[in-house]
Amino acid sequence: MVKISPSLMCMNLGKFEEQISCLNKKIDYYHIDIMDGHYVKNMTLSPWFIEQLNPYTSIPTDAHLMVTNPIDYVDQLLELNVEVISIHAEHLNGHAFRISELLKKHRKKMGVVLNPETPLNVIADFLHLIDIVTVMTVDPGFAGQTFVTESLEKVRQLKISREEQNLSFEIQIDGSCNEKTYKQMIDAGADILIVGKSGLFNLDENIENAVTMMEKNLTAAINL
């Protein structure tokens, strides 16, 4: 089964405890979008949010750094026991070997994020260091954007490269993961789907009902 990672910038923060309590029973990761208003023109969650989340869950967190200087956040996120630190390829380039060594020392995972326009050759020289490759199927920074189908070819190529090079990284998709796209994403080779408003939180006001609907949609897509 594909793994599920809810994007918590899309949750109802007014029902924080209720929603986290329900999700804790059902999901594999929590996806935390950290934006500084510079790398993308939006501001959402922060390391402070992870600090508030930690007492309520043992689910591993994946911090997606959409910030101008992501390397500056790494030590703070390690102190918060973040499981995966995901950095956009253009910012990880030049730091990948050092950051990989640091994260392995702390037994944490290094993620790299590819925008729709970012070619795979940008990460070719350090692909063997990566634990999770996140393929953006929307432009970064905002929820509810149009699905970029062209990004699925990148997922297919990553799957081929993983097999040819005998690597073990997981392929994660971020953007428009919902009942209309699940099958395409899974068929392309996705291991982890990041679900936001259209895939989870807007399905029903009641989080338990929303999770049930998400699971039914996912199962239907897998069985098609």
Helices (H), 80-130: 89-92, 96-105
Q: State how far the Cα of 10 lies from the Cα of 61, in Å rounded to an integer.
A: 15
Q: Which of 28, 33, 131, 187 is catalytic?
A: 33
Phi, psi torsion values for 217, nearest 5 degrees = -65, -40
Of the candidates 62, 131, 174, 191, the residue annotated as catalytic is 174
Max Cα distance, the chain (Å): 47
CA within 13 Å, CB half, 113 = 25
Sign of the torsion angle spanned by Cα atoms 15, 179, 60, 119: negative
14: DSSP letter: G
- H/E stretch holding 52 reads helix 47-53
Active site residue 33: yes
Has 174 been annotated as catalytic?
yes
Residue 145: helix, strand or coil by DSSP?
A: coil
Q: Compute the distance between CA of residue 94 and CA of residue 96 in angstroms, rounded to an integer.
A: 6
* Residues taking part in catalysis: 33, 174
